[in-house]
Amino acid sequence: MTSIIAIEGGHDVVGDIHVSGSKNAGLALMAASLLASGQSTLKGIPPMADIDSMGRICQYLGANIIHTADSLQINTMNLGSLDVPDRLTRSSRASILTLGPLIARFGFANICLPGGCSIGTRPIEEHLKGLEKMGACVKVTEGSVEGYAPSGLHGATIHMQTPSVTGTMNLMMAACLASGVTYIYNSAREPEVTDLAHCLISMGAMIQEGVGPDPITIFGCNKPLLPYQYKVMEDRIEAGTFLILGAMAGNPLAVHGCTSKYQTALIEKLRAIGAQIDIKKNSIIVRKAIYPVAVDIQTGPYPAYPTDLQPQLMALLSMAWGTSRITETVFEHRFNQSAGLIAMGADICVDGEEAVISGVRELSGSMVAATDLRAGASLVIAAIVAKGITVISGAQHIDRGYYGLQKKLEKIGVTVTRSHGFDEGAGKVDSRIAVAALYSRA
């Protein structure tokens, strides 16, 4: 089943938009609750699709879940199952984050290999090699990974070949319950990793965050941690998406709940493109670039430009004067949004992990498809500035990372409607329904 979004574009966005709690940090914090026995409370996390998927995984393991509009209670007192079946992992790659906590606390886990966005291979070797260093026996079979540590985990020195975010999170959580000290070199330094570390420390873990080449150091306690009461950090990717929208159509757009230190690489590029940016204590005000100019970007681990904001910036660069070049170094095949942008009139040439964008004067409404979360976000912000109506199928992918997006966009002046629950093969009929609904609201 698919979902359709129809947007009437060609207008500025004006007003205030608020950023939700971080999906990526929230998923790791939910997995961290498995390290404790009792009720943990995670504040500030909205009930978006990926969070719901992780909640179902925790429930399958035996946790009791209560999710309100802005908080999540997870009671792990009576965990029973230590395996996660395919039907629960196929929609979210974050399911792999349960592997480390389950092995560390119970000595066993069987996780079906995760699904989620169709972006390259996203291997989990860093997770598995690190757990083996800590004494786990890990076996990958067709479609699943099993881990055993009947005598518990022990401290280790781990050198990650690539600074995997979820790999760092998994190993850091597992090391909290190990005996001895674990050092993780070349770890990811994303703010979501830091947020997880702060939560683990609040649960009783002893963690020293490395600076520069120094490792993350975890002093294992060889026993379960305490439940937490913790407020998740802001979703910096949602915030960045709104900042890019502001640079395209803000007149002005005020993004609230947005910390500028997490957006340094993006703000630098937006200013170079020509956007006016005014940084406040807990918000950023953006005015659109009147004559946007081309820039080059290369994605990389934090604090470099984030791969999760690459598709959205491509939408902006498609209307920038001159030729821009995007080099993607984090994920393979992460230019899925280019097909939709080209259908809207963009001039984009993709060659492997590099895209060359020749700016055009304007985009036009079209029928396009969202193939993954961030590609979908790219098409949404492109549709807002495009002339005419754009119909985006596959909008359910966007729900995985953006909570209440339709209402947020409507508050800043976007005319948008949505249709749910249609068969993929009935795309033309679905689109007509969505467009008719859009006109009926005009």
Q: Tens digits of per-residue pLDDT, 52-89?
A: 999 999 999 999 999 988 899 999 999 988 999 999 98
What is the reported pLDDT for 372? 93
Question: Tokens 């915030």 sit at which residue?
Answer: 239
Say if residue 240 is exposed, middle or buried (CB neighbours under 10 Å; 0-12, 13-18, 19+). buried
The model's pTM is: 0.93
What is the reported pLDDT for 134? 99
In terms of DSSP bridges, do strands 39-43 and 71-75 run parallel, antiparallel, or are they unpaired? antiparallel
Short-list 175, 177, 197, 182, CA closest to 36: 177
pLDDT by 10-residue block (mean), the chain, 442 residues: 92 98 97 98 93 95 92 95 89 88 97 64 84 96 91 98 95 98 97 98 96 92 97 98 99 97 98 98 97 98 97 99 98 94 99 98 98 97 98 94 96 95 51 60 57
pLDDT tens per residue across span 283-341: 999 999 999 999 999 999 999 999 999 999 999 999 999 999 999 999 888 999 999 99
- Token pair listed for 410: 């409507």
Catalytic residue among 58, 112, 117, 258, which? 117
Helix (H, G, I), strand (E, B) or coil at 220: strand
Say if residue 60 is exposed, middle or buried (CB neighbours under 10 Å; 0-12, 13-18, 19+). middle
Say if residue 440 is exposed, middle or buried (CB neighbours under 10 Å; 0-12, 13-18, 19+). exposed
Tell me if residue 176 is catalytic.
no
In angstroms, the CA 282 to CA 122 distance is 33
What is the reported pLDDT for 433? 58
Strand partners, 7: 390, 416
What is the reported pLDDT for 211? 78
